Amino acid sequence: MTGEDEAVGRIVGSRYRILDRLGAGGMGTVWRARDETLKVDVALKEVRLPADISARERAERVARARREAEHAARLRSHPGIVTVHDVLDDAGLPWIVMELITQSDSLLDRLRARRLSVDEVARIGADAADALAFAHDRGVAHRDIKPSNILLTQDGRVLLTDFGIASHHDDSTLTATGVVGTLAYIAPERFGDGPPDLRSDVFSLGVTLYQAVEGALPFGGENTAAMLAAILFEPPRPGLRVGPLGGVLWAMLAKVPAERPDARTAATLLRQASRPMTITAPTQRPAPHPPHSQHSQHPPVSPRLPPA
């Protein structure tokens, strides 16, 4: 990875001047850069490649980064997905040119600052699920949904970013060593040999939303092995603050993919959870008095007075 002091001022691809670092993740570092041709700022993602990986894994990671741009290009028309503009080679590595999102925080940043209400979490989840549904309709899975990959802008937009380890159903030439993603958010089926399922993203979003509303993960453990066992075999921890979100979150966190809602259904359920039903009491009418009839078999009984 390029050091920040070393990178600032560097020209990438004979066009993009690095200004400062925006953040870093498992797949690389994101820089703010100036497009010297169009005179606008962009986000420039540098792929991170460890020095000790094999030539085969290096080639796989480079290919995966190229696929990120291809996948994201399919999704650029959705307002809830960060736009990818271009991919270029520099020093033998791909750099991805993306829309620069200003005046925004990640969901992770927001959670560090304050606790979110159930309604806020439901709205964020519904918008993120909408973006996932759009991607899933085009055969693209994200595979790394977590709080740091959900951006929240000051004008209220919710954006999914970092499709860096996304996979498309047509990808048959890429093989990753091990399971790619962030352990706490990975769906159980991804640790097995079964076919990929788009609803793995729904599980990851469920973990993210549970964490957002509860302030803790639904599957915990003192170490990696304990957390993995909890994800595979244990039910989620009981929620203390989930309120009307409980039903949809438990469905999203089902161990079996077929028992989870798809992303579009999850979006609908999350929106419903953010709008609690208002129950209007029926109008009270006085109970009718039974009619008195001269032919009644049981005439009214006069009350008895107590003896003097």
Active site residues: 144
Alpha carbons 117 and 122: distance in angstroms, whole number:
9
Cα dihedral 268, 269, 273, 278 in deg (nearest 10): 80
Q: What is the DSSP letter of 81?
A: B
**Tokens matching residue 234:** 């244990």
> Is beta strand 104-106 parallel, antiparallel or unpaired with respect to 84-90?
unpaired
> Is beta strand 104-106 parallel, antiparallel or unpaired with respect to 150-153?
antiparallel
* Alpha helix (H) residue ranges in the chain: 4-7, 55-74, 107-113, 118-137, 199-214, 224-233, 246-252, 263-273
* Alpha helix (H) residue ranges in 138-223: 199-214
Hey, is 241 helix, strand or coil? coil
* Alpha helix (H) residue ranges in 138-262: 199-214, 224-233, 246-252
Phi-psi domain of 143 (left: phi exceeds 0; alpha: psi -120 through 50; beta: other) = left
Q: What is the DSSP letter of 243?
A: G
CA-wise closest residue to 22 among 36, 33, 14:
33
Q: Which helix (H) or strand (E) holds 88?
A: strand 84-90
